[in-house]
Amino acid sequence: MALDPCFFYKEKNDRPVGIIGTFVDDTLGCRTVQFKQKEEINSEKFDVKEVEECNQHQYGQNFKLLNLNLYSKVDFTHLRGQLGYITCSKRPGVSFDFALLSQVRRDCLEKEHTIILNASVRKVQNSNLSLQFPELDINSITIRRCSDPAIANNSDLKSQLGMIILLVEKDANAAVIQYASWKTRRVIRSVLASELFAFASSND
């Protein structure tokens, strides 16, 4: 059975006790100990894989750096894909690097691209960082957005844009709800224009 991307949650006394997201035939969830126990009991009734704990830091430690003198294009693509997964799930700080690397075609792969990829992997492995989602005061939440461009930094002189969107409460606690880094579709010839592009894109 395959489902469209969707989101399930269960509440008890107006507080969430279990959250599960599905995509095709994969699921990702977080839950209380009690909810986990009930989930395990119900899973015994179906033919499902054993639930695995998701440790993103350990996942990053398993990345293997590429030997600059001995690697294949397949090796590069594989490591780039691993970096992309962890970028999308917990590391906004490497979004810029991954966005640059994702533009590299196999027929244009050069040593400098591998150096950037290895540096990004080291950045992931040398710092145990992850997104945190503190409990927020729903009566004082505001949405804040930050955006910034890197003008003409790509090889084709197109600019790189980035943005991050947060839910922020009065005590300055915040939760990230969206972040991205991407290349513009056109060449931008002024700093002001690139700032406006980033601003407009983040508003959308």
Residue 52's pLDDT is 67
Residue 118's pLDDT is 92
Task: Compute the residue count for the chain.
Answer: 204
Report the predicted TM-score, pTM, of the whole model to 2 decimal places.
Answer: 0.68
Where exactly are the structural domains of the chain? 3-43, 56-125, 138-203
Residue 36's pLDDT is 79
Residue 3's pLDDT is 54
Q: Record the tokens describing residue 8, joined without a space.
A: 């399930």
CB of 161 closer than 8 Å to CB of 181 = yes
Residue 1's pLDDT is 47
Residue segments in the chain with a per-residue pLDDT below the cut of 50: 1
Q: Record the tokens describing residue 33, joined without a space.
A: 């100990």
